[in-house]
Structure 1
Amino acid sequence: MKLLALATLAGALLAGGPALAQPMFPAPPTLPPVPVPQFRPDTFDLRRYGAVADGQTLNTHAFEQAIAACAQAGGGTVRVPAGLWLTGPIVLRSHVNLHLAAGALVQFTADHAQYPLIRTTWEGEEAVRCQAPLSGTDLREVAITGPGTLDGAGDTWRPVKKSKLSAGEWQALLAKGGVLNEKKDTWYPSEGSRRGNELAAAKQLPKSLNPADFTELRDYLRPNMLSLTRCQGVLLDGFTIQNSPAWTMHPLLCQQVTVRGVTAQNPWYGQNTDAIDLESCRDAVVRGCTFSVGDDGLCLKSGRDEEGRRRGVPTENALIEDCKIYRAHGGFVIGSEMSGGVRNVVVRNCAFMGTDVGLRFKTTRGRGGLVENVWVEGIRMTDIAAQAIVFDMYYMAKDPVAQPGDNAAPPAIAAQPLGEGTPAFRHFYLRDVVCRGAEQGILVRGLPERNIEDVVVRDAVLQCRQGLLCQEARNIHFQNLTLLPTDTRPVLEVQNAQGITFQNLRYPAGTDLLLRVSGPASRDVRLLGTDTKAAKQTVQLGDGAGKKAVQVAAK
């Protein structure tokens, strides 16, 4: 009801303009159907293999035996009954459905020695890490289903900053043991964790892919919790997955992935605890999930920098719908590791509540890769800490949530030569997006050597403190945009951008400045079908902007 009232308020602020030419808004692609894997009816009860649900017995061998027996029989279901099942890492196999019954809690052990050091990937590049609590490689038809819960003991792996906790929470954490850094403002679960993090910060980690070189740093090498690599026919359905050491669900180079009705929850301060990262995957559906995590929520990736470009496998043909995201850095995210490309994506009917950013498309120089053909519609957001919508090719220039003492001015961006590391964003189509409360409505920040191109944002209502900044962009259309900033100096800011159209804009009456345009590259900025009389000043030309950079055709 509040979001409907907000849209009604926006319409009451300024009456709508006459019908104008519509920017092209093509229908989304028809994505390939994603078949859901089917399993033999045979059931293998975990207890038959010696498992004990006392929370004390380590059941790693029982899980291994049950899964092996199921696979050797031609497949079926390994049933985990109600109870508290302590275990080390579980390795999945083809044609096996690991089913977590109601009341089943699979608790992964806090004994890090149980997780072998292996050669794997970390944030899009080859690396040595600890083995994931749940993993599978080169599988066909594999599933985790059921209403039970998986707990990754992530609190025994992750460092914690003092600034993230209340005084009472900090004292309770210290009482658990662990070690502090020299400044006494970061807690580490062990000395190995502290040393590894400090070596990483100083860029002094071993430059090696030999696991033996990292033995003393095991506690630093936090694993992703569920890691599936080169699997075809994946089903993740109905369970809760929580307390992950790092990324929570990570399908890599997988095909035909279905994720439905999964709940992922991690502490809001948990570093790198993305809910799901589909990396270099093809044909995926994520539907009806609920996430509250310490990093990005719904995220698409395809490898990092040179390694990602060399792999050259995009994430493509992804449908994401009917999901709810609570705490997260971004609700729906592409990047920043997108060097193999992302294409043909449809996102619809999702709600983001209390995330740092709502729709977050991010990359940076050195990534390379092309992100294109992305459709987003039916998004509802509340209490967004930074931007409701952000396209950022200058990722890491600034934290999305401003820190004390940060300069509020946009960063100056100097051009660099084009190369294989120059990323590209184009052909994004967003409509029916409503946000009640954000620091900024929209940020579009490209690079001077390669602008963000061909974006349509239509039928959006954004209530925010700051309005819109469009920088180093080309051919961007905003139509039927209701922008309700409390800071109206200005509502719209355009810097070094071309072909930017605002059509039938609605904004607060009494606005100080509607549109400021600056930069010598700015041209063909159009303000069409908009009642400019509600602003004290319609247009201001800033540094470098030519007198003909802006065209105003008020209604």
Structure 2
Amino acid sequence: MNKEIKDINVDLPVIPEHSVTITDFGAIGDGVYDNTDAFHEAIDACSRKGGGKVVIPPGIWLTGPLTLQSRIELYASAGALIVFSKNFEDYPIHMSTFEGKQVFRCQSPLDGEGLEDVAITGSGIFDGGGEAWRPVKKFKMTNNQWKQLIQSGGVVDDEEIWWPTPAARDGQAAVAQLEQTGSSNPKDYEPFRAYLRPNLLSLRKCRRILLSGPTFQNSAAWCLHPWASEQITIQSITVRNPWYAQNGDGLDIESCKYVKVEGCSFDVGDDAICLKSGKNEAGRLLGLPSEKISIRNCTVYHGHGGIVVGSEMSGGIKDIYVSDCTFIGTDVGIRFKSCRGRGGVVDNIFIERIRMRDIAGDAISFDLFYEMKAGLGVHPEEVTLPVSSETPVFRNVWIQDIACIGAQTGLFVRGLPEMPVTDLFVQRATITSKKGIVCRNTKNLSIQDVDLYIQEKPLLSQYRCQNLQVENVNEKELGGESN
């Protein structure tokens, strides 16, 4: 491991001393008055002075989406609750990014492109009004919750998914057809605006970003999404989404470099802290990796994964350091995922001192069959395909000093037969789980100094593993000695 990834230098934004308050521009914090114009007038006035701080005092501030500007700090005071409009018509359709592609979406509530020196600080709350946008799957609701949801309006499709409007339900097929025809006119997408759910925060091609202090919650889709940006500091923030929130990711760092994430808390409906770099051919052509990223001292409660690499990693992910994090009740703890078609290289990842409890699935997971393809049979690990630019590569990963009490599987590794997970080192771990270690299609996998308290044997199951090194790996009983 290159020691430099532990000590990444990140530049903070430079914000002038000038400040304004949104109430100076007629804002009313009663939760009813539309403050969109007041917010933009305050931001514009501050920008005309060369930048500065826009102060949001205590109150409930209803607003439409906000277009951020360079050298502006948006400061949410304690007691400030910024509630974004649930009126779809308030959100212009423009070119943005989502799930690894540049596509038309509704403007994000907190939105900016090509900016320098951007900060959102304070201890207030930004609420995305996501319940107005998100589809909901029936199996994630109790019977009473489902009945109440249906009674609130909306429509239910054949797959028992509730949608807020018929346009939202029909949007997936309609938008896919528009994209296939190559439509570049935003007006063509307007009938399906309700389907084009915005991320709560979208910052694209920006430099020197600071998110420090606030709570970001209830997003329509992903919560925080910096894309193709650099010099990013994210510290002491809270990210909250309902556990059933569709695409309710916490933080998606995509194609960014020089990033620090420290002392943050996540409780979300999908992946919590996720590293991405574009999807399939579009991601490979763009060729912007996520790199030189440090993540420390974060806590994740609910989420599909605590720290997640992929599955959209086609532009590459490298030089990542993760340490001193706690994951409680996540579906998977440390999660690497991808599939054929992505391409891209994940390289030089170092993870240490992770604490986990009540993990529903794998404590540590590498799965290169994230999207199973039809026709591969019962045992896809046995089907070898030619290596090409579409073949994802995962290599040079160190994971050490891990403690987990409660998981389905301690360590699960499933590489591709044509491209095994290579040079993976797991050492110094104590894991309590139902199953122990399951390895498929690996090369140069080293497991050292691991104690496993498991319910089902065998301790280790392996298939097509080249140069598997196992040293001082012990099956133990709670309160007892090694077996």
- TM-score > 0.5, shorter chain as reference: yes
> Structure 2 length normalisation: TM-score?
0.95
RMSD over aligned Cα, in angstroms? 1.8
Give the total of aligned pairs: 475
Instruction: Tell me how far 1:27 sits from its aligned partner.
Output: 5.0
Instruction: Tell me how far 1:170 sits from its aligned partner.
Output: 1.3
Conserved in 2, the CA contact under 8 Å of 1:39 and 1:97? Answer: yes
| Match for residue 266 of structure 1 among 228, 237, 241 | 241
Q: Counterpart in 1 of 2:188?
A: 213
Q: Counterpart in 2 of 1:469?
A: 438
Q: 1:451 to 1:182 in 2, by over 3 A?
A: closer
Q: Counterpart in 1 of 2:80?
A: 104
Matched, 1:508 2:476: yes
Look at both structures and tell me which one has the larger radius of gyration over its CA atoms: 1
Instruction: Tell me how far 1:358 sits from its aligned partner.
Output: 0.3
Q: What amino acid sits opposite 2:405 in the alignment?
A: R
Question: Residue by residue, what CA displacement relative to the aligned partner does 1:319-357 show, whole Å, maximum 9, x if unpaired?
Answer: 000000001000000111111101111000000001000
Q: 1:239 to 1:294 in 2, by over 3 A?
A: same
SS at match of 2:190: helix
Question: Residue by residue, what CA displacement relative to the aligned partner does 1:479-535 show, whole Å, maximum 9, x if unpaired?
Answer: 0011222011x111110110111100110369xxxxxxxxxxxxxxxxxxx98xx3x
Cα distance in 2, alignment partners of residues 156 and 84 from structure 1: 18
Q: Counterpart in 1 of 2:205?
A: 230
Identity of aligned residues (%): 43
Q: What amino acid sits opposite 1:251 in the alignment?
A: P
Conserved in 2, the CA contact under 8 Å of 1:456 and 1:478? Answer: yes
Q: Counterpart in 2 of 1:85?
A: 61
Cα distance in 1, alignment partners of residues 166 and 419 from structure 2: 45
Question: Residue by residue, what CA displacement relative to the aligned partner does 1:364-417 show, whole Å, maximum 9, x if unpaired?
Answer: 11111111111100100011111000111121239xxxxxxxxxx864441111
Q: What amino acid sits opposite 2:77 in the alignment?
A: A
| Match for residue 422 of structure 1 among 374, 391, 405 | 391
SS at match of 1:506: strand
Q: Counterpart in 2 of 1:445?
A: 414
1:219-368 correspondence to structure 2 within 5 Å? 219-368=194-343
Conserved in 1, the CA contact under 8 Å of 2:198 and 2:221? Answer: yes
Q: Counterpart in 2 of 1:122?
A: 98
Q: Counterpart in 1 of 2:143?
A: 167
Instruction: Tell me how far 1:198 sits from its aligned partner.
Output: 5.7
Deviates more, 1:125-134 or 1:206-215: 206-215
Cα distance in 1, alignment partners of residues 296 and 477 from structure 2: 36
Cα distance in 2, alignment partners of residues 26 and 340 from structure 1: 21
Cα distance in 2, alignment partners of residues 462 and 411 from structure 1: 28
Q: What amino acid sits opposite 1:189 in the alignment?
A: P
Q: Counterpart in 2 of 1:483?
A: 452
Cα distance in 1, alignment partners of residues 477 and 469 from structure 2: 21
SS at match of 1:284: strand
Q: What amino acid sits opposite 2:388 in the alignment?
A: G
Structure 1 residue ranges, 4+ long, deviating more than 3 angstroms after superposition: 25-32, 197-200, 203-206, 409-413
Q: Counterpart in 2 of 1:67?
A: 43
Q: Counterpart in 1 of 2:401?
A: 432
> Structure 1 length normalisation: TM-score?
0.83
Conserved in 1, the CA contact under 8 Å of 2:78 and 2:122? Answer: yes
Matched, 1:152 2:128: yes
Q: Give ranges in structure 1 of 5+ residues lacking alignment.
A: 1-24, 399-408, 511-529, 535-555
Cα distance in 1, alignment partners of residues 382 and 38 from structure 2: 57
Q: 1:427 to 1:417 in 2, by over 3 A?
A: same
Q: What amino acid sits opposite 2:157 in the alignment?
A: N
Conserved in 1, the CA contact under 8 Å of 2:8 and 2:294? Answer: no
Q: Counterpart in 1 of 2:116?
A: 140
Q: What amino acid sits opposite 1:461 in the alignment?
A: T
Instruction: Tell me how far 1:38 sits from its aligned partner.
Output: 3.2
Question: Residue by residue, what CA displacement relative to the aligned partner does 1:266-285 show, whole Å, maximum 9, x if unpaired?
Answer: 01111111110111111000
